[in-house]
């Protein structure tokens, strides 16, 4: 089994590992900080290095439950000790975006009781679909204001891995219309924006909502009778991880 560093510490940028197996087009490592994608969050990219040689990791995907690091060209052999380095600018942008999406979800569920029907993201932008019968500019403006109030509230973001029974005892743990958690799993990873939102989630997040930066809702569309899509953008302004986090931009 690969030790999945991203599940417990999203701030690991560089790590040492050993190649355990070659698969078609990629390698499996004994430990990794590369997120393999899922839940609307794209996978990480970066490099593996060993003995003066560098391999570019173009994609990471789960294959038979294992994160596989896909590399163009020759692969490092099984048993090779490597150093993995993430494209940190891209990863941190995705962390900020993913947390912004949870703020949006938390605000909409708290204030309007609407469930999520879909979503996707790229670095610093994303979209999320909700069960709304109607949506208008005034509603969208109120949602944007509430999102940025939650950013400014500097809420801690906590990750826990819970036994299945304990996790499913949490009310409203699943915010999506369809439960996407695989059946039979023994543990559930949860992400909590303290005081706002608590969901089952496998992705990477910043440690505090203030680190997200200013959020703008750039558009909204009707995608069906009771399905409305909200597009958001995260302003490209980075801050420290915890202390000295910036005021949201204008």
What is the reported pLDDT for 244?
Answer: 41
The first and second tokens of residue 159, run together, are 């990750």
Q: What is the value of pTM for the model shown?
A: 0.89
Please state, in angstroms and rounded to a whole number, the distance separating the CA atoms of residues 14 and 88.
9
CATH architecture of 3-86: Beta Barrel (2.40)
Does the 91-234 domain belong in CATH 3.30.980.10?
Answer: yes
What is the reported pLDDT for 172?
Answer: 67
Spans of the chain, pLDDT less than 50? 177-179, 238-250
Domain boundaries, the chain: 3-86, 91-234
Any idea how long the chain is?
250
The first and second tokens of residue 89, run together, are 């600018």
Please state, in angstroms and rounded to a whole number, the distance separating the CA atoms of residues 88 and 91.
5
Please check whether the two domains, 3-86 and 91-234, share a CATH topology.
no
What is the reported pLDDT for 151?
Answer: 96
Give all strands (DSSP E) within the chain, no chain letters: 3-4, 14-23, 26-29, 31-32, 46-50, 53-63, 66-71, 81-86, 116-122, 125-130, 157-163, 187-193, 197-200, 215-222, 228-234
3-state secondary structure of 4: strand
């Amino acid at each position: 089994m690969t030790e999945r560093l991203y599940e417990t510490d999203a701030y690991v940028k560089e790590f040492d590992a050993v190649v355990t197996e070659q698969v078609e087009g990629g390698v499996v490592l004994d430990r990794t900080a590369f997120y393999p994608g899922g839940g609307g969050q794209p996978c990480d990219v970066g490099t593996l290095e060993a003995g003066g040689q560098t391999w570019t990791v173009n994609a990471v995907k789960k294959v038979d439950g294992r994160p596989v690091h896909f590399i163009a060209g020759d692969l490092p052999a099984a048993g090779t000790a490597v150093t993995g380095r993430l494209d940190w600018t891209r990863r941190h942008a995705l962390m900020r975006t993913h947390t912004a999406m949870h703020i949006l979800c938390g605000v909409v569920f708290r204030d309007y009781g609407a469930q999520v029907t879909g979503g996707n993201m790229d670095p610093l932008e994303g979209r999320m679909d909700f069960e709304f019968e109607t949506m208008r500019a005034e509603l969208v403006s109120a949602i944007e204001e509430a999102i940025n109030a939650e950013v400014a509230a500097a809420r801690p973001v906590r990750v826990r891995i819970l036994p299945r029974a304990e996790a499913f005892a949490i009310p409203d743990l699943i915010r999506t219309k369809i439960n996407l958690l695989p059946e039979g799993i023994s543990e559930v990873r949860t992400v909590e924006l303290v005081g706002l939102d608590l969901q089952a989630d496998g992705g990477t997040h910043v440690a505090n909502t203030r680190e997200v930066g200013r959020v703008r809702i750039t558009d909204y569309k009707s995608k069906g009778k009771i399905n409305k899509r909200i597009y958001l953008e995260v302003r490209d302004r980075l801050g420290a991880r915890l202390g000295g986090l910036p005021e949201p931009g204008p």
